[in-house]
Structure 1
Amino acid sequence: MSAPLRRRTVLLAGGALAAGGSLLGGGTAPAAAGLAPEAAADAQIAEILLRIRPPQFPDRWYDVTRFGAVGDDTTDCTAAIRAAIEACHGAGGGHVVVPAGDYRTGAVHLLSGVDLHLEQGARLAFSQDPAAYLPVVATRYEGTECYNYSAFVYAYGQRDVAITGQGMLDGRADATHWWDWTGGPPPNEGPDKTLLIQMAATGVPVEDRVFGAGHYLRPNLLQLNRCENVLLDGITVKDSPMWNIHPVLCRNVTIRGVTVDSPNGPNNDGIDPESCTDVLIEDCTISTGDDCVAFKSGKDADGRRVNVPARYAVVRNCVMADGNGGVTAGSETSGGVMDIFVRDCTMSSPHLERAIRIKSNPDRGGTIANIDVRRVSVGQAADSVVEIVLNYANVTTGAYPPDVHDITISRLTVASAPRALNLLGLADDPLRAIHLHQCRFDAITEPNVITNVEDLQLDQVWINGARVDN
């Protein structure tokens, strides 16, 4: 194995590259042959898509207004929506229809065989009272299992569930409801997050990790936990307390044509498949206060206990605007993130910090491998376009170094960003086999940072008009 590459690239005035245009100075010859062949990657995508089949539902329709729901933005419709879902499930499945109107509600729990269909103009306006999301349910909070407030829309252990239509799930979180739990004067989530992590580290059984009333761990807007055959199609989600769409330990998930409009909240990730297998995310538009799409697999001790990777996923034809990252792996990577394919996405915003981001640290562990990104167009980014770092949260030592290797990025184009690459391995845990092929970065103003990387291959890569192959 070759020695890690630790040299830092230096850009001269005006963005020209030092050392005769060589990005790293020395190194090996261009290694296009070492890149994963596109045909092989496309074959893997085809295999994944063959396994992904959206659920089908019987031709039975249950209008929530026939169960007492009123779309007047005042009436509490929780019981009516629940009754419609139970009736549909009990009959063998079908569609629960929410017609146009504004429906106030607490927690909505989906059951097997039910498609919750929001017609155009329908809005579920979720209560701002935490008591509306009790009793507590089994959940995963930032990669650690516990019992906490229900997600606003929640399902556990169900099959063939969907939320479809052109309507909206409005979490109605704001600076004085939910988001104020993230910091500032007490009470806030800080002590509860610390307690939960300590419980997991010391092996406290999950059933004894009970939060909810009197605690301050924010719920997701939509969480599907241990479900199979999931479809989210056409809906808009808005202003979640934290992560917007959070499938956990699910199999066969299709998320298409969804709009995530939640740019102002803290930790407001758009779509976070965690420890899920066979996932398709396509034709979505995402603007968030955190990562747009983030693949996760559990955190630290609890992630290693569950030990289920995020694996076999395709993200294609999506548009990302505001966010800390466009497509991200981490930082909860303890179960591994593997075989993720990104195709034909557009990303741009003065508030989009990075396009492709992998983040972990030596407390996390897990393997992150075979991440394959092709044909992504970035207009504007606010930080490094591609960031792969193993010092997330400034943690540089630990007993569980992650294994990050075989990351391929091809035909990425960038109109403007401060930095093209920020690649930070650790001295005893280098990044390995990072390959960029036919990529162009324009209007770059700051030097790349490349530390502790083995087998970095740059083939037909251009920065500010200068070819920088190694």
Structure 2
Amino acid sequence: MTGLNRRVFLQSLVAAAAVPAIPGALSQAVAMSRPPRAQYNGPWAQVPKILSAIKLPSIPARDFNLKEFGATGEGEDASAFFAAAIEASRKAGGGRVVVPAGKYRTGPIHLVSNTELHVAEGAEVHFIPEPERYLPAVKTRWEGMEMMGYSPLIYAHKAENVALTGKGLIDGGADCDTWWPWKGANTKCDNSSNEGDTQHAARAKLMEEMEAGVPVADRHYAEESFLRPPLVQFYECKNVLIEGVTLENSPFWVIHPVLCEGVTVRGVTTRSHGPNSDGCDPESCKNVLIEDCLFDNGDDCIAIKSGRNADGRRVNVPTENVVVRNCQMRDGHGGLVLGSEISGGVRNVFLEDCVMSSPHLERGLRIKTNAMRGGNIHDIYVRNLTIGQVKDVIVINFFYEEGDKGDFDPNVYNIQVENLVCKQANRAFQIRGFERAPIRGLQISNSRIDQAGSLGVIEEVTGLTVNNVTINGQAFKPG
């Protein structure tokens, strides 16, 4: 259907009978309802090309076992041993720093080119939650703004061929006594408040300096600023691999590649339920594969980003050519999310064969932006998505946070969703564009929502195409 230029409020359809809750893991019957994988033709023909452009890191075949540098794996502070092993790898031209079974406490770990940090099965790396250890400040990007801030817990800058692998556990050490209270009042920590040591003042000042064009080197936001670091951040890197590890209790976002080219995130579990505990946030990255992962988070599971407001437009690097497949999403604010730091744009995103479900999953697919962030967001393709329980199925919102208060209208077009099956939702749609800048070319086909409390809202969309879509057992015909 085309020509939805006016505001359209869809009628509510409440299920006649109570709907039983579906647990986070989908039943076999639901999982089996997914259609077989389609062929890579049409727009999807780009997927093999993207995958062929992604290069795994080339790591020299030599190992640097942490115990050979003095570590015992008995819970000691192993910071010096990590640093020594990584330095030995650097001097040798690269290799694999092996963390054998055992328990290791440490401060920040800075990786270098041609080096893999391998956390073996049975190994536990626990980061020490003492902020002074994450100094001196490094160049980082925080909520889409560049600054000099606390070091991410695992960090690499301008490295090529860098990896984090293994079946071990990496614990960021954050909880409601350390790191998370800096958020201020939040739903994760009942004892936190808006008073005292919180991020609010520094966050506001950083936004002011960003808009004023203060050079990044002069934006000092480490000690006493209370801006929490991410658990893993690879910044301006090439050929990145994160595989197999379990990542828990992050101070902030869990996996955050920034300005990277060639990123593979495979077989990873992120389990962090603190404030802003996004699972994986590729930001201003090119050629990204996220596959076979489990996301169980306190915020978005996957959030594709490209910088906030003036910084996003100044750097002006979109995230593009992203493939997400065979992933599971449980708790989170959203399963696949684009935004909200999206001023540099996002394009060519392909999600297929994923499963989402949780009583605490708020949205299945979500695009969030506003008139201050703007962004060119287009060519987003989703297919073969199974959702068990979710609050909202599809959300495209131009009124996120600041809403219609800026001069940078979002440009969102060509969003295609096919073969989506949802068992239970509170609301099918929350889709709101601007009258002056409507969402264009939203296509939904061969999909069904078995039980929805309401259809929700579609507002300011042109080129809405619906084909073979049912909601509550009835053909969906927007009008």
Q: Give the structure-1-normalised TM-score.
A: 0.93
| Counterpart mapping for 1:294-313 below 5 A | 294-313=303-322
SS at match of 1:301: helix
Take 1:6 and 1:38, find their aligned partners in 2: how far apart are those partners? Answer: 36
1:374 aligned partner, one-letter code = R
1:266 aligned partner, one-letter code = P
SS at match of 2:454: coil
Superposed CA deviations along residues 171-202 of structure 1, whole A, max 9, x for unmatched, are 01000100000011212000000000000001
| Counterpart mapping for 1:316-355 below 5 A | 316-355=325-364
SS at match of 1:369: strand
Change beyond 3 A, Cα 1:38–1:160:
closer
Take 1:265 and 1:171, find their aligned partners in 2: how far apart are those partners? Answer: 11
1:214 aligns with 2:224: yes
> Equivalent residue for 1:201?
211
| Counterpart mapping for 1:12-411 below 5 A | 12=13, 14=15, 39-73=41-75, 75-183=76-184, 184=193, 185-262=195-272, 264-381=273-390, 383-411=391-419
Take 1:40 and 1:342, find their aligned partners in 2: how far apart are those partners? Answer: 15
Alignment root-mean-square deviation, CA: 1.4
Q: CA deviation at 1:92?
A: 1.4
Moved over 6 A (4+): none
SS at match of 1:175: coil
SS at match of 1:187: coil
Take 2:108 and 2:156, find their aligned partners in 1: how far apart are those partners? Answer: 10
Take 1:130 and 1:14, find their aligned partners in 2: how far apart are those partners? Answer: 50
1:166 aligned partner, one-letter code = K
Take 2:13 and 2:87, find their aligned partners in 1: how far apart are those partners? Answer: 66
Change beyond 3 A, Cα 1:417–1:386:
same
Take 2:247 and 2:309, find their aligned partners in 1: how far apart are those partners? Answer: 29
> Equivalent residue for 1:20?
none
> Equivalent residue for 2:35?
none
Q: Please say if residues 125 and 170 of structure 1, whose CA atoms lie closer than 8 Å, have aligned partners that are also in contact.
A: yes
| Counterpart mapping for 1:412-451 below 5 A | 412-451=420-459
> Equivalent residue for 1:34?
none
SS at match of 1:247: coil
More divergent stretch after superposition (181-190 vs 317-326): 181-190
SS at match of 2:64: strand
Q: CA deviation at 1:261?
A: 0.8
1:41 aligned partner, one-letter code = P
Q: Percent identical across equivalent pairs?
A: 45
Take 2:215 and 2:13, find their aligned partners in 1: how far apart are those partners? Answer: 56
Q: Which residue, 455, 466, 470 being the options, matches 2:474?
A: 466
2:260 aligned partner, one-letter code = C
Change beyond 3 A, Cα 1:126–1:14:
closer
1:301 aligned partner, one-letter code = A
Change beyond 3 A, Cα 1:426–1:70:
same
Q: CA deviation at 1:5?
A: 4.1
Take 1:391 and 1:48, find their aligned partners in 2: how far apart are those partners? Answer: 32
- Give ranges in structure 2 of 5+ residues lacking alignment: 18-38, 185-192
Take 1:299 and 1:130, find their aligned partners in 2: how far apart are those partners? Answer: 25
Q: CA deviation at 1:41?
A: 2.2
Q: Please say if residues 15 and 445 of structure 1, whose CA atoms lie closer than 8 Å, have aligned partners that are also in contact.
A: no
Relative contact order (C-alpha < 8 Å, sep 6+): which is higher? 2
1:412 aligned partner, one-letter code = L
SS at match of 1:365: coil
